[in-house]
Chains A and B, each alone.
Chain A
Amino acid sequence: MDVLRNKARDLLAQGQVQVVIGYEAGTGGARRPSFVRSEADVARLVWDADCVGNLAGYLTRAEIKKMGKIAVVANAATLRALLQLTAEHQLAEGAVSALVVTEEGAVLELSNAQAVTEHVATLPASLSAADREKLDQLMALSREERRAFWEQELQRCIKCYACRSSCPMCYCGSCTMDCNRPQWVPVASHEMGNLEYHTVRAMHLAGRCVECGECGRACPVGIPIHLLTCYAEESVRRQFGQPAGTSATLNYALGTFRPDDQETFIR
């Protein structure tokens, strides 16, 4: 922890970054994001196994970009999101340094996309064992059973859009959900509207979701909504073999025209 704090202090002191985004102690033992802008605040930073949140969501916010150059304390999911955001031209190459605390307690500073890409290649899958198990269970269900499962779960959705706000890949300034000319998706949180919202979101994340599980953690009514986007991501990966968040160059399976595509309908 001290190594991390020292690193943050150095970066701030030397003016290499203007803000370090990391984790600090929250209520009830939870970890919450911390925006450290002066050496004095460095002591707030913590690092332990509870630091599961994906901080990459903050990197694309205008108010944060305005602060100057950023260093972010990054777990695996944050790193993946960082790469995907770079690929999608939301972060300029080198605009953000990632601080990675290794198992041995050392701090690596990954200051460009190549360094992040190489590091990510050494990491295991993002999904937790518990989520992996739940996802496998869902995949084993029949189509009808799966639909019934989601209809049941989504009944509780109150359309607060916490899932969207927490998602690092939901960075769009104007979301289709808010588009009212035409009103593609009904606003009210009735059965149809909920299903439409979540299907559209899952489709928008298929091939882009970095599987951090942030939306599931954010949901105030406890819907494991991340399983839907992870499911979509995994379907794309299985069929096209292009995992999101592993490279800073775009290779988006659902939107790349290739004259040599094996599907003939496209030509």
Chain B
Amino acid sequence: MSRLGVFVCHCGENIGATVDVTEVAERCKHMPGVAHAEDYKYLCSNPGQNKIKQAIEEHQLDGVVVAACSPRMHEPTFRRAVTDAGLNAYMCEVANLREHCSWVHEKADSTTEKAIDLVRLQVEKVKRNKPLDTIQVPITRSALVIGGGIAGIQAALDIADSGHKVIMVERSPALGGHMAQLSETFPTLDCSQCILTPRMVDVSRHPNITLLTYSEVEHVEGFIGNFKVAIRKRARMVDEDLCTGCGECLQKCPTKNVADSFNEGLSMRRAIYVPFAQAVPNIPVIDTENCRKFQGKKCDRCAKACPTKAIKFDQKDQIINVEVGAIVVATGYQVMGTERFPEYGYGTYPDVITGLQFERYASASGPTQGVIKRPSDGKEPETVVFLACSGSRDAAKGVKYCSKICCMYTAKHAMLLKHKNHHAKAYVFYMDIRSAGKNYDEFVRRAIEEDGVKYIRGRVSRIYEEDGKLIVKGADTLLGGEPVEIKADMVVLASAALPNHGQGELAQKLHVGTDPYGFVAEAHPKLRPVETTSAGIFLAGACQSPRDIPETVGQASAAAAKVTALLSRSHLAREPLVAEVNRKPAPQFSDCTGCLLCETACPYQAIGHEEIKDRNGNVLKTVAKINPGLCQGCGTCVSLCRTKAIDLHGYSNEQIFAEIMSL
């Protein structure tokens, strides 16, 4: 017979005002198996915990039920307390009298009765609890960083500096992400390339970092501490060991009319190219979709030009298999294209451009060497209209959320225009200015007050072309909705930041959750902002939601700290609340029939199979096998299994059945 202790908490007034706590304790004394019951004002306090410890000793208790708040709050507290008194942590259960009873009912006798029932359930359960030990899982002490934007770069450097090996996978031919495309950065207006390039070089030179560009994650299996990742390293058609980055080949390529995506389509590049001058690695790649050779024509001019014979037209994609203990997702974002805006011409007006295109014009390394021009005729625009919130905060036409960076970069753009062309006129249409951040509001004020940017509060309903001008029709809501019409030379849309393309597929491969918009979801919006819903997989930067560089870098370092903490241990302790396939004496060996229907049901791919063998190695039976390192204890397989061959430790069929039958 069990000797259980029941401890009922008043939680101040939280439970005490609605439930007759003393009555609950009194009635519990008479439940079979209960050796001791008492109530206390705050059991989670130190004196409260001491009461539990003392009672365990004094009454030689072998199990404890704490009737208090949600186990999410204090289950660890009470489990620690019973361990201090010499019991196994899992011999303690919490009955939730607060969220499940006092907070949701009025004070009444029936409320107290329900509280007693809730305790009775746990008493029946604890009677059948078995001591459990934490599971120790070995850890592979290296990390994978997916995405080589500033988020990935920062995370990789921080992890590598702490002494752990990092594999960095970047989809494009070079590091840098969007930051490499930016001209100058708010709020300090320092040159983006200048602060980024040293970091990119650090990544490529770091002894602990293996950099794989032009590569993508093909397949992921495993679990926290033990991921197995297959990476597809796409064929560059250039031998990375032989290439010296001299650039001879680039000059010789006869294909010159490929839209340059690094310049957001504002200029042309060749079929063999390096995305930008400071690219890391500085190794060209052949764009096989546009290369003559790969289109079946005769051409090998680049190969002829190469002094080291590095061009390899027969290079094949390579699959590289790596094992890592942790993964950081840093895959960034993309911006909504102008073609998504019917009222602004569906992308048909060449002089309606995105903010990212404006960045390329403003950049000293851009298609115009930093002179702001317009695409249609290459003239310098005199009047430029900037539209904040293009597609953002607009559930009907775009996305519901605020893209967060646009207020700031729009102020920056208007300012850069005025700095580069003092006569130019800059108008900004905005809904409201969101400039919270260190030195951010000052930055916007500077644009308005010092540089004379005209801010108009209102939205633009339509843009159309007339006599070589773009007619921007809007309303000034601060003037009571008075119509405004501006004849502009160029319009810049601060278009919404969206989840990067391919983000959904990657999330599926990694089994991480996404939010309703498609950004990677954090495990908890406040308390676990850099963890994903999958243990051992972390996130950083704009893949979680739009954000600026300071925030991205801060988050990347935070994710790196989490990774480093994980990799600093050789083993990982996990809660033993996992499912297990049972064993029975011969001839059954197990209730499992080996149908393996559970294998496809497990959301965490924790189920495989194993062979039960006799002493001579003959297979007696093939049964399902659950990997305790992967199992999250969700119980899906338990309910699926027809023969009830699977049981969840801590929530066994027998325990749940006894709970229900006690009512």
A255 at interface, CB cutoff 8 A: yes
> In the complex, which residues of chain A have a beta carbon less than 8 angstroms from the beta carbon of B595?
88-90
The smallest C-beta distance from B43 to any residue of chain A, in angstroms, reads 31
Kindly list chain A residues whose C-beta atoms are within 8 Å of the C-beta of B254: none
Chain B neighbourhood of A260, CB < 8 A: 508
B511, B588, B640, B643 — most chain A CB neighbours (10 Å): B643
Q: Is A171 an interface residue (CB 8 A)?
A: yes
Q: Judge if B597 is at the interface, Cβ distance under 8 Å.
A: yes
| Contact A259 to B511, CB < 8 A, known contacts A171-B593, A184-B644 | yes
Residues of B within 8 A of A88 (CB): 595-597
Complex: how many Å from CA A182 to CA B644?
10
> Is B598 among interface residues, defined by CB-CB distance under 8 A?
yes
Q: Whole-angstrom distance between the alpha carbons of A89 and B584 in the complex?
A: 20
Min Cβ gap B172→A in Å is 26
**Which chain A residues border B511 with CB–CB below 8 Å?**
259
A residues in contact with B598, CB < 8 Å: 255
Nearest-CB distance from A152 to chain B (Å)? 27
Question: How close is A164's CB to chain B, nearest CB, in angstroms?
Answer: 12
User: Which residue of the partner chain, among B513, B622, B642, contacts A89 with CB atoms under 8 Å?
Assistant: B622
Q: Is the CB–CB distance between A172 and B593 below 8 Å? A: yes
Q: Given A89-B595, A90-B594, A182-B654, do A175 and B643 touch, yes or no (CB 8 Å)?
A: yes
What residues on B are CB-neighbors of A135 within 8 Å? none
A250 interface residue (CB < 8 Å to B): yes
- CB neighbours (8 Å) of A14 from chain B are none
Binds A, one of B260-268, B419-427, B600-608: B600-608
Q: How far is the CA of A225 from the CA of B80 in the complex (A)?
A: 54
List A contacts of B255 (CB < 8 A): none
Q: Do A172 and B597 touch (CB < 8 A)?
A: no
Chain A residues whose CB sits within 8 angstroms of the CB of B196 once the complex forms? none
B591 within 8 A of A: yes
B657 at interface (Cβ–Cβ under 8 A)? yes
Q: When the two chains form their complex, are residues A259 and B508 in contact, meaning their CB atoms are under 8 A apart?
A: yes
Q: Which of B599, B601, B643 contacts A173 (CB 8 A)?
A: B643
Complex Cα gap A173–B584 (Å): 12
How distant is A92 from chain B, measured CB to nearest CB, in Å?
10
> Is B503 interfacial (CB-CB < 8 Å)?
no
State how many residues of chain A have any CB contact under 8 Å with chain B. 25
When C-beta atoms are compared, the residue in chain A nearest to B514 turns out to be: A267
Using an 8 Å CB-CB cutoff, how does the interface string of A154-190 with B read, 1 for contact, 0 for none? 0000000000000000011111100101101000000
CB contact between A172 and one of B507, B643, B653, B661 (< 8 Å): that residue:
B643
Chain A contacts for B642, CB-based, 8 A: 172, 175-176, 204
Residue interface mask A207-222, B partner, CB < 8 A = 1: 0000000000000000
B653 to chain A, nearest CB (A): 6
* Interface of A (DSSP majority class): loop
Contact between A89 and B596 (Cβ–Cβ < 8 Å)? yes
Asked whether, in the complex, the Cβ of A174 is within 8 Å of the Cβ of B591, the reply is: yes
Establish whether residues A250 and B597, one from each chain, have CB atoms under 8 Å apart when the complex forms. Answer: yes
Q: For residue A176, which residues in chain B have a CB less than 8 angstroms away from its CB?
A: 642-644
A residues 230-251 near B (Cβ < 8 Å) are: 250
Residue of B595, B596, B601, B644 with most chain A CB atoms under a 10 A cut-off: B595
Instruction: Check A256 for interface membership: any CB of B closer than 8 A.
Output: yes
User: Which one, A173, A181, A259, A267, contacts B593 given CB within 8 A?
Assistant: A173
A179 to B645, CA, bound (A): 10
Q: Which residue in chain B gives the minimum CB-CB distance to A259? A: B508
Q: Which residue of A lies closest to B510 (CB)?
A: A259
Taking the nearest CB of chain A, how far is it from the CB of B199, in angstroms? Answer: 34
> Which residue of chain B has the shortest Cβ distance to A175 in the bound complex?
B643
Q: How far is the CA of A182 from the CA of B128 in the complex (A)?
A: 12
Report chain B residues within 8 Å CB of A179: 643-644
B636 at the interface (CB under 8 A from A): yes
Q: Is the CB of A89 within 8 A of B640?
A: no
**Does the CB pair B588–A174 fall under 8 Å?**
yes
A265 to B: closest C-beta gap in Å? 12
In the complex, how many angstroms separate the beta carbon of A186 from the nearest chain B beta carbon?
12
Q: Which residue of A lies closest to B582 (CB)?
A: A174
* Any A CB within 8 A of the CB of B658: yes
User: In the bound complex, what is the Cα–Cα distance between A62 and B591 (angstroms)?
Assistant: 15
Interface string of A39-56 (1 = CB under 8 A from B): 000000000000000000
Q: What is the chain A residue whose CB lies nearest that of B598? A: A255
Smallest CB gap from B599: residue in A: A250
A182 to B200, CA, bound (A): 62
When the two chains form their complex, are residues B658 and A182 in contact, meaning their CB atoms are under 8 A apart? Answer: yes
* B498-526 CB contacts (< 8 Å) to partner A: 507-508, 511, 513
Are B596 and A250 in contact, with the CB atoms below 8 A? yes
Q: Are A174 and B600 in contact (CB under 8 A)?
A: no
Q: Is the CB of B597 within 8 A of A184?
A: no
Report which of B597, B601, B653 forms a contact with A182, defined as CB distance below 8 A: B653
| A residues less than 8 Å from B643 (CB atoms) | 172-176, 179
Q: How far is the CA of A179 from the CA of B658 in the complex (A)?
A: 15
Report chain A residues within 8 Å CB of B658.
182
CB-CB contacts below 8 Å: B609-661 with A: 622, 636, 640, 642-645, 653-654, 657-658, 661
State the Cβ distance, B527 to closest chain A Cβ, in Å.
21
Q: B14: shortest Cβ distance to chain A, in Å?
A: 31
Q: Please, which residues of chain B bring their CB within 8 A of the CB of A204?
A: 642
Can you list 17 contacts pairing A with B, beta carbon distance less than 8 Å? A88-B595, A89-B595, A90-B593, A173-B588, A173-B591, A174-B584, A174-B643, A175-B643, A179-B644, A181-B654, A182-B653, A250-B599, A252-B600, A255-B597, A257-B602, A259-B508, A260-B508
Q: Apart from A89-B596, A175-B642, what 15 extra A-B contacts exist at CB < 8 Å?
A: A88-B595, A88-B596, A172-B591, A172-B593, A172-B642, A174-B643, A176-B642, A182-B657, A182-B661, A255-B597, A256-B600, A256-B601, A257-B603, A257-B636, A267-B513
